[in-house]
Chains A and B, each alone.
Chain A
Amino acid sequence: DIQMTQSPSSLSESVGGRVIITCRTSETISRSLSWYQQRPGKAPNLLIYGASTLQSGVPSRFSGSGSGTEFTLTISSLRPEDFATYYCQQSYRTPFTFGPGTKVDVK
């Protein structure tokens, strides 16, 4: 199975601040990487697929980059509704696997 790691595991930032989350995979997956946002008590919500393509309806302050084994999710200017946990997921090969998550909370 492809192993996923994320860093940091948690971070604190202010509204308006910039956040960068890194996801690494145990083997190369081209650009087959997706990002999800999960708010407390809710299901994960797809933000980005194909490493950098924004899902319909996702604000442009979210962006993704990377290929191979290292990927990043950037939130350019945090809004109150962005305080949540973020997960990466590899879509390269079954079994599909998720990262352990990065919790973003208020500084």
Chain B
Amino acid sequence: DGGITQSPKYLFRKEGQNVTLSCEQNLNHDAMYWYRQDPGQGLRLIYYSQIVNDFQKGDIAEGYSVSREKKESFPLTVTSAQKNPTAFYLCASSIRAGRYEQYFGPGTRLTVT
């Protein structure tokens, strides 16, 4: 099955700890994205990558970091600097950057207490 895998589905962390969310795709897509979803606010772009070894900040990048060492993988680290990390995180990909058709993973719900 082709698609995007995010793991784990639920993640719990203590305040002050960094945590890394996994995102893998086997669609052979060049572009990958990370979004944060909060109730009543839609999806907000955290980071995106147009190609391997390249990534750009989105609208709410503060407190987050990413890497893109392989085409199929785009992990997101939520650092202790992120003031409100509890949210639903969605990873997506598209054939190439600039395409409106993005394929989303099932998401990871992160709870920080």
Q: Does A associate with B in a complex? A: no
Binding site for B on A (CB under 8 A): none
Binding site for A on B (CB under 8 A): none
